[in-house]
Amino acid sequence: RKEVEQDPGPFNVPEGATVAFNCTYSNSASQSFFWYRQDCRKEPKLLMSVYSSGNEDGRFTAQLNRASQYISLLIRDSKLSDSATYLCVVRTGGYQKVTFGIGTKLQVIP
């Protein structure tokens, strides 16, 4: 089983739709969780950290479910500019390695 698993998609959604992605992780000792965004042929950029209590940033909401070992990202009122690949990132252990998921591709269509 991969350390971090994501559905690669693509998810094709109309503008204004709400879309949610899940990401599962295998190590119950994982400590920190993030969502990164990667545009085509660009480098990844941090979208948001994921806190135990969940957190919201505008149209984006991230949740952590430790019992089921998954994190989620909800995007409300999708914009064309949200089209990108969303990478789930997990940090595990006492050293500093992080593991990236393969990414979920989102395409918002007019």
Partner 1 sequence: GAGVSQSPSNKVTEKGKDVELRCDPISGHTALYWYRQSLGQGLEFLIYFQGNSAPDKSGLPSDRFSAERTGGSVSTLTIQRTQQEDSAVYLCASSLVSSKETQYFGPGTRLLVL
The residues of the shown chain that bind partner 1, judged by CB under 8 A, are 32, 42-46, 49, 87, 91, 95-103
Question: Least CB distance from residue 107 to partner 1, whole Å?
Answer: 15
Q: Which is nearer to partner 1, 19 or 87 (CB)?
A: 87
- Of 50, 54, 57, the C-alpha closest to 34 is 50
Element (H, E) at 57: strand 55-57
Question: Least CB distance from residue 109 to partner 1, whole Å?
Answer: 21
Q: Which is nearer to partner 1, 17 or 100 (CB)?
A: 100
In contact, 102 and 24? CB cutoff 8 Å: no
